[in-house]
A and B are shown apart, each in its own frame.
Chain A
Amino acid sequence: MKQRTIHFTQEFTDTPGGRHRQHGDFSGQQFREDILRPALDQNDLVILDLNGAFSFPPSFIDEAFGVLVDQLGEDIVRKKLRIELNGNPLAQRKIADTLNEHAAKKR
């Protein structure tokens, strides 16, 4: 089983930006298109270590994870993506809610 760990703060940024690339550097779209989606396409399991980032704006989360569910489907995202984030229950909740909302929309 092919596996990859993405260390968010080392490979991307500790200060996530806005939704789209036009909103400036380190946007949700940039993260999804340049790092997350290729990693998911090339691996069976992707462990995304989000620890160390200052927080995650809602639009970043929606664009990075919500659109991913729209594109790949809930099953694939839940099966292949494991998110590690400790000590930030608000962001954890936001990510979970976003995944659920987009999954519900697709159903």
Chain B
Amino acid sequence: MRDGWSDFATGDFCTHMITPVLVSLATAVIAGGITRRKEEKNRCNNAFLDEVKRHVVVIRELSDRATAEVLVQLTGNPTISFKHSLQQVGTHVRGVGMNVEILKIYLPPEVLVALENASYKWANDLCADPYPMQKKSNALHTHDPHLKEIQTAHVEWQKYLSRFVMECTTGKINLKAN
């Protein structure tokens, strides 16, 4: 027959009492650590996702403004001078570029390259030479092909941004925090 004292005397006390307590303690500590790390990672991922979304909304806003400004010039209903318009479009396009650049922090290189390519394509079509204002008279009563190009580029760019946000949200695109 065994009791605590004989276990203690024989050294089995450690085996029967201390070891299980230590093991369960260690398990709890490790499990707690893993959970905390997971929570921390999730918090970080969510914060990164929020930042990406914030920048995408800004990119969308600036793109909207730039496209609208060019289309207004192109269709011959400008409310501001050509020079002023050019400055505004330039500012918006640069703003888009800066926000894309900031996204570098959160995106893996291959995703960033795709995003940059899509934004370049939109910006190139928007500011294609000759500048729309020079074709204004052509656009007034005819279907200027450049008008269509800009509209198509805008649609493609908007679609890309929507898909991009969706893929970041669903985890198809792994943000750098992962």
Contacts and interface: CB of A to CB of B under 8 A. Distances in A.
Interface of A: 14-19, 22-27, 54-59
A55 B158 contact: no
10 contacts: A15-B53, A18-B60, A23-B162, A24-B159, A24-B162, A54-B53, A54-B57, A55-B54, A57-B57, A57-B61
Which residue, of B57, B163, B169, has the highest number of chain A Cβ atoms within 10 A?
B57
Given A22-B155, A24-B161, 20 more contacts: A16-B57, A17-B162, A18-B60, A18-B159, A18-B161, A19-B158, A23-B158, A23-B159, A23-B162, A24-B159, A24-B162, A24-B163, A25-B166, A26-B162, A54-B53, A54-B56, A55-B58, A57-B57, A57-B60, A59-B68
B111 interface: no
Interface of B: 50, 53-54, 56-58, 60-61, 64-65, 68, 155, 158-163, 165-166, 169
Which residue, of B65, B161, B169, has the highest number of chain A Cβ atoms within 10 A?
B161
Which residue, of A15, A25, A55, A59, has the highest number of chain B Cβ atoms within 10 A?
A15
Contacts of B61: 55, 57-58
A58 B56 contact: no
Contacts of B163: 24
B93 to A, nearest CB: 16
Task: Please report whether the interface of chain A is mostly helix, strand, loop or mixed according to DSSP.
Answer: loop
Nearest to B163: A24
B58 A23 contact: no
Contacts of A22: 155, 159
The 3 A-B pairs with the shortest beta carbon distances in the complex, nearest first, are A24-B162, A18-B158, A23-B158
A56 B54 CA distance: 10
B53 A14 contact: yes
A9 to B, nearest CB: 11
B57 A18 contact: no
A15 B68 contact: no
A54 B54 contact: yes
B45 to A, nearest CB: 15
Nearest to B62: A57
Contact of B161 (A17, A19, A54): A17
A24 to B, nearest CB: 2
Contacts of A27: 162
